[in-house]
Amino acid sequence: MFKYFEPNKIFSITSKAPKYVLILFIIVLSIGLIEALILSPEDYKQSHSVRIMYVHVPAAWISLGIFSSITALSIIGYIFKIRNFFLISKSLAPSGFVFNIIALVTGSIWGKPTWGTWWAWDARITSMFILALFYLLYLIAWRIYKDDEKVFKITSIITILGIINVPIIKYSVDWWSTLHQPASINLLSKSSIHTSMLFPLMIMTAAFALFSILIFLMKYNTELIKIKNKGLDRL
């Protein structure tokens, strides 16, 4: 089944897709920004500062989602020796890292007017900070090691070590007392965010996801051309 993901077969799609994704991203982002900054209501308690949620929460979700995907792809790639999965992982990492940084920085900006502090070493914030370090480690590993076999192994190990942190981030607010509030959105129960605020949150999540896809496609194409470049050298 994996052969359908061979670079030769999908390159004709990935090479043309970015410009359409870019257009779609700009449209969805514009709608999201208007919703988040102007149309959505203020919160009864946090007033307008609640608007920071519309960049903070999607960024955190997507950085966690991307790290989980990278880990799954790396493990499957390692077990079945699928080189292409490592290229996909490598191409996913940059946007995941940037979203992690966005989540930390906007969280800090949100914390000052609501909690009264820029930073607290509580379990949620610390574990999210550790995730950023794992992303950094992952990206640096790809820069240091040029030998394929070696870099595949090392990045797999980094993701396996890092994935333990992901459930800790998710449940930190339930397991320990933290300054960070518990999750508002739950798959199994009713969300504690009012519908008028849930809508901009979903639009912004869609926009951020599109941005990740855009960066992924561009990075993936770059990696493929890099391989073909080596191919030309051998002719």
Of 32 and 141, the one with the shorter C-beta distance to other proteins is 32
CB of 229 to other proteins, least distance (A): 5
- Restricted to residues 156-215, the positions that interact with other proteins (CB under 8 A) are 160-161, 164, 168, 176-179, 181-184, 192-194, 196-197, 211, 214-215
The reply to whether 98 sits near other proteins by the rule CB under 8 A is: yes
Q: Which of 87, 103, 91 is CA-nearest to residue 214?
A: 91
CB of 145 to other proteins, least distance (A): 18
Alpha helices in 115-185 (DSSP H): 123-144, 148-163, 165-175
Of 56 and 141, the one with the shorter C-beta distance to other proteins is 56
Q: Are 56 and 200 in contact (CB under 8 A)?
A: no
Residue bearing tokens 């900054």: 37
- Restricted to residues 109-138, the positions that interact with other proteins (CB under 8 A) are 109-110, 112-117, 120-123
The reply to whether 47 sits near other proteins by the rule CB under 8 A is: yes
CB of 188 to other proteins, least distance (A): 15
Residue bearing tokens 């070493």: 121
The reply to whether 225 sits near other proteins by the rule CB under 8 A is: yes
Size of the site for other proteins (CB under 8 A): 85
CA dihedral (102, 138, 213, 166) in degrees, to 10, reads: -70
DSSP tag of 187? S
CB of 130 to other proteins, least distance (A): 11
